[in-house]
Amino acid sequence: MDLSLSTRTVGDRTVVEVGGEIDVYTAPKLREQLVELVNDGSFHLVVDMEGVDFLDSTGLGVLVGGLKRVRAHEGSLRLVCNQERILKIFRITGLTKVFPIHTSVDEAVAATD
Amino acid sequence: MATVELRFSALPEHVRTARLVAAAVARRAGVDEAVLDEVRLAVGEACTRAVGLHQNGGITAPVKVSLIEEEKQFSIEVGDEAPHLPFVAGSPGAGGDEVEAEEDEMGLAVISGLVDDVEVTAGEDGGLIRMTWPTTPPVVPLA
């Protein structure tokens, strides 16, 4: 299973829908996508992880890198995830305190805090 | 000897193969279904770390994964051949690789968060991560 990526704009947010496996092999593609969005001026990102089957620390590193990039432009990076096995990885690494994690894209797009 | 042994070139694209094989052998060994996700993630992290160490060190040797079925337990050993020198603070060459060091630590953090029984050893000839999970005896399938 490879990584699938698609983006769409909802208001002032850019939603990145990710599917498949994010690991040491595929994470560079996600990194490129996030870098490209920020370079193009999209600073408010919502990463929809509902289609993600696997996530490892390389993937976490890319998301943290994305967060650093958008924050440099006073932007935001929100995650959408309901899968317990993916949430667990954020929890054991303490990253639930770093990323706002939402239960739906609608909720993430509407969030302003 | 190991139940199944795997050697792969230190390339990111092979880490997924190692995950799939490890999970399949763990399932057969009787590791609880609920824990297989953790096995998959932990072995992936260990292999990712080994691939990184080999690539950064220009080591052409393969990464070795041993899947070991024992009585009431299942172990996975991931071995690298990167020389792990005794850590000396401020030693030359220690700087400049902060990002890689961080990623390396993140992988180990995930492993230690996931696996209760984990041993990390390292020496001049390479390092080894050994992770062990309990198994339950396989249920004899109905004929």
The CATH number covering residue B124 comes to: 3.30.565.10
In a domain, B141, yes or no: no
- What are the structural domains, with CATH classification, of chain A? 1-107 (3.30.750.24)
Which one has a higher pLDDT value, B106 or A49? A49
The tens digit of pLDDT for each residue in A4-24 reads 999 999 999 999 999 999 999
A98 close to B (CB below 8 A):
no
Element (H, E) at B101: helix B98-114
8 Å CB contact of A57 and B48: yes
Whether residue B89 is predicted with pLDDT greater than 70 in this model: the reply is no
| pLDDT of B99 above 60 | no
Q: Which residues contact B74 (CB under 8 A, 6 or more apart)?
A: B25, B26, B29, B30, B31, B67, B68, B132, B133, B134, B135
d(CA A70, CA A89): 22
Mean pLDDT of A45-72: 97
By the CB < 8 Å criterion, does A83 face chain B? Answer: no
Contact (Cβ atoms closer than 8 angstroms) between residue B8 and residue B14 = yes
| B35: chain A residues, CB-CB within 8 Å | none
Q: For B16, which of A23, A61, A93 is closest by C-beta distance?
A: A23
Q: Is the pLDDT confidence value at B1 over 90?
A: no
Find chain B residues with C-beta within 8 A of A57's C-beta: 45, 48, 103, 106-107, 109-110
Phi/psi zone of residue B140: left (φ > 0), alpha (ψ -120 to 50 degrees), beta?
A: beta
Q: Do residue B40 and residue A54 have CB atoms under 8 angstroms apart?
A: yes
User: Is the pLDDT higher at A90 or at A1?
Assistant: A90
CB pair distance less than 8 Å for A24 and B106: no
pLDDT recorded at residue A113: 72
Q: CA–CA separation, A50 vs A65, rounded Å?
A: 20
Strands A76-80 and A44-55: parallel
Query: Lowest-pLDDT range, A32-36, A70-74, A79-83, B85-89?
Result: B85-89
Residue-number span of the structural domain to which B79 is assigned = 2-134
**Average pLDDT, stretch B2-9?**
93
Q: List Cβ neighbours of B3 (8 Å cut-off, separation of 6 or more).
A: B25, B29, B67, B68, B69
pLDDT exceeds 50 at position B95: no
Residue B48 lies in a domain: yes
pLDDT band at B91; cut points 50, 70, 90: very low
CA distance A89 to A16: 20
State the pTM of this model. Answer: 0.88
In 3D space, the residue among B136, B85, B55 whose CA is nearest the CA of residue A24 turns out to be B55
Cβ of residue B51 closer than 8 Å to a chain A Cβ: yes
B76 in contact with A, Cβ within 8 Å: no
Mean pLDDT of A63-90: 96
Residue B136 is predicted with a pLDDT of 87
ipTM over the 0.90 cut-off: no
**Selected residue of B39, B106, B112 to mutate for chain A interface (largest A Cβ count, 10 A):** B106
Residue B143 in domain = no
Using a CB-CB cut-off of 8 Å, the residues of chain A touching B12 are: 23-25
Tokens of B77: 């050993």
Residue B137 carries which DSSP code?
A: P
Pair of tokens at residue A87:
């949430």
* Backbone dihedral angles phi then psi of residue A86, each to the nearest 5 degrees: -80, -40
Domain count of chain B? 1
Residue B142 forms part of a structural domain: no
Residue B28 pLDDT > 60, yes or no? yes
The pLDDT score that the predictor gives to residue B127 is 95
- Answer yes or no: is pLDDT of B97 > 80: no
What does the pLDDT read at residue A68? Answer: 97
* pLDDT single digits (tens) B102-115: 666 788 889 998 99
B99 compared with A60, residue with greater pLDDT: A60
**Which of A10-14, B17-21, B97-101, B118-122 is predicted with the least confidence, judged by mean pLDDT?**
B97-101
* Mutation choice for B interface testing from A24, A29, A54, A60 by most B CBs within 10 A: A24
Rounded percentage of chain A residues whose pLDDT exceeds 70: 99
Helix axes A84-92, B98-114, angle to 10 degrees: 120
pLDDT attached to residue B94: 44
Q: How far apart are CA A6 and CA A2, in angstroms?
A: 13
